[in-house]
């Protein structure tokens, strides 16, 4: 089994939806990317609080707003990506990787 066969392996195959290992990997990449982005923003903001360039309440508020924004945008981005992959394969069971 080659890497391409593994990536194209169908985990779920229904009339309208095909979920492959590729779809799962892309979703995990987006989730991990969001976690890393939140972690980096948290470090930057709390470093500013520690250096007294930003008040604690203001820094916490900014962090929570940015975290909410990131976690709200993530599902929209994932939906757009899945929709685009569906357009590429025309929902006909063909793989997204050709």
- What confidence tens digit (pLDDT) does each residue in 39-61 have? 999 999 999 999 999 999 999 99
- Residue pair 13/93 in contact (Cβ under 8 Å)? The answer is yes
> In this structure, is residue 97 part of a structural domain?
no
- Residue pair 41/67 in contact (Cβ under 8 Å)? The answer is yes
Greater pLDDT, 36 or 16: 36
- Per-residue model confidence (pLDDT) at position 5: 87
Residues of the chain with pLDDT > 70, as a percent, come to: 85
> In this structure, is residue 28 part of a structural domain?
yes
Three-state SS at 46:
helix
> In this structure, is residue 51 part of a structural domain?
yes
- Per-residue model confidence (pLDDT) at position 98: 46
State the total domains in the chain: 1
18 DSSP β-pair partners: 13
End-to-end CA distance of the chain: give it in Å, rounded: 16
- Domain membership of residue 37 as a residue range: 3-89
> In this structure, is residue 44 part of a structural domain?
yes
> In this structure, is residue 59 part of a structural domain?
yes
> In this structure, is residue 69 part of a structural domain?
yes
C-alpha 95/C-alpha 93 separation (Å) is 6
> In this structure, is residue 96 part of a structural domain?
no
**How large is the average pLDDT for residues 83-87?**
68
**Mean pLDDT value across the chain:** 83
> In this structure, is residue 77 part of a structural domain?
yes
C-alpha 78/C-alpha 82 separation (Å) is 6
């Amino acid at each position: 089994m080659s890497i391409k066969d593994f990536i194209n392996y169908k985990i779920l195959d229904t009339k309208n939806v095909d979920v492959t290992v590729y779809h799962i990997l892309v979703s995990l990449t987006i989730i991990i990317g969001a976690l890393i982005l939140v972690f980096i923003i948290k470090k930057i903001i709390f470093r500013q609080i520690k250096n007294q360039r930003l008040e604690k309440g203001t820094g916490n508020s900014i962090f929570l707003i940015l975290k909410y924004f990131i976690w709200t945008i993530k599902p929209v981005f994932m939906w757009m990506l899945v929709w685009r992959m569906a357009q590429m394969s025309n929902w006909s069971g063909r793989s997204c990787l050709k």
